Amino acid sequence: MEEHIKLFQKHNLRVTPQRELIYKVLSSSKEHPTVEAIFDEVKKLYPSISLNTVYKALEMFAHKGIVKRLIVGINIYRFDANIYPHAHIMCMECKQVDDIDGKLSGFTEDIKQEVNINSDYEVTSVDILLYGSCKKCNARG
Ligand SMILES: [Zn+2]
Ligand SMILES: [Zn+2]
């Protein structure tokens, strides 16, 4: 059985051709795409699909915890099929989002535990998002 089908079943997600395609498009991207970018790709293979269907599927995936939804602005989301804790950096010029590997990844779990212990909140997710300018934009001056 394909990995994503196992993942869907584990989280009680009904497997539909649309959902499979949306998940595949997202998991094959390293770019932390927006809903619109995912929609553009999915549409090529499934022309009748609507933006709303793609949006709802992604919200469902995020709710079930099989994808990560990054809030990068007011009502602006980017999606990531890599749910292993890791930090991100966004270029303020071109809005490219990249993973930051290394020490910061473990940090997200430490923050979660510390806040769970020291506050009245139960932390459900931790996003570390840094802002900067990428190499390409820097070179452009
Ligand atoms: Zn840039
Ligand atoms: Zn990521």
pLDDT of res. 46: 96
Q: How far is the CA of 75 from the centre of ligand 1 (A)?
A: 21
pLDDT bucket at 58, cuts 50 / 70 / 90: very high
Distance 90 CA to ligand 1 centre (A): 8
| Token pair in block for residue 134 | 């990428």
Mean pLDDT rounded to a whole number for the chain: 93
Q: How confident is the model over 88-103, as a mean pLDDT? A: 92
57/93 same-domain check: no
For 8-138, strand residue ranges (E) read 68-73, 76-80, 87-91, 97-100, 129-132
We report the CATH number of the domain holding residue 56 as: 1.10.10.10
Per the structure, the complete domain to which residue 16 belongs is given by 1-82
Q: Ligand 1 centroid to 52 CA: how many Å?
A: 29
Whether residues 89 and 78 fall in one domain: no
- The confidence score (pLDDT) of residue 101 equals 80
CA of 18 to the centre of ligand 1 (A): 32
